[in-house]
Amino acid sequence: MILEALNYAGTYWKTEPAFRPHIRYSVNLWARANRCATAWGEHEENSKRFILSTASRLKQRRTAVILGSGLLRDVPWRQLSAAFDTLVLVDLVHLSSVRAKLYRRKYRNVVLNSRDLSGYDMLKAGIDIEPLSFLRQVPYLDLVVSANLLSQIGTGARHRIEQDGTNGMPEDTLHRLIQAHVDGLSGLPCKVCLLTDTGFDIIDRTGKVHQHEDLLHGVQIPNIVQQWDWPVAPFGEESKDYQIIHRVVASNLR
> Do residues 194 and 132 lie in contact, with contact meaning Cβ atoms separated by under 8 Å?
no
> Do residues 88 and 107 lie in contact, with contact meaning Cβ atoms separated by under 8 Å?
no
How far, in Å, CA of 101 to CA of 97, rounded? 7
Q: Name the amino acid, one letter, at 219.
A: V
Instruction: Give per-residue pLDDT as tens, 20-46.
Output: 999 999 999 999 999 999 999 999 999
Candidates 143, 170, 140; CA nearest to 157 is: 170
**Which sequence spans correspond to the domains of the chain?**
2-194
Helices (H), the chain: 2-12, 23-35, 37-56, 77-83, 96-104, 120-125, 150-164, 173-186
pLDDT at residue 167 in the model: 76
What band does 216 get if pLDDT is binned at 50, 70 and 90? very high
The domain made up of 2-194 has a fold known as Rossmann fold (3.40.50)
What band does 3 get if pLDDT is binned at 50, 70 and 90? confident
What would the mean pLDDT of 42-70 be, rounded to a whole number? Answer: 97
pTM score, whole prediction: 0.94
Cβ-in-10-Å burial (0-12, 13-18, 19+) of 234 comes to middle
Q: In angstroms, what CA-CA distances link 73 with 46, 179, 196?
A: 11, 26, 14
- List own/partner pairs for 216-220 with CB under 8 A and 24 or more apart: 216/150, 216/151, 216/154, 216/178, 217/154, 217/174, 217/175, 217/178, 218/175, 219/175, 219/178, 219/179, 219/182
Instruction: Give per-residue pLDDT as tens, 121-163.
Output: 999 999 999 999 999 989 999 999 999 999 999 999 999 999 8
What band does 243 get if pLDDT is binned at 50, 70 and 90? very high
Asked whether residue 206 carries a pLDDT value surpassing 90, the answer given is yes
DSSP state of 43: H
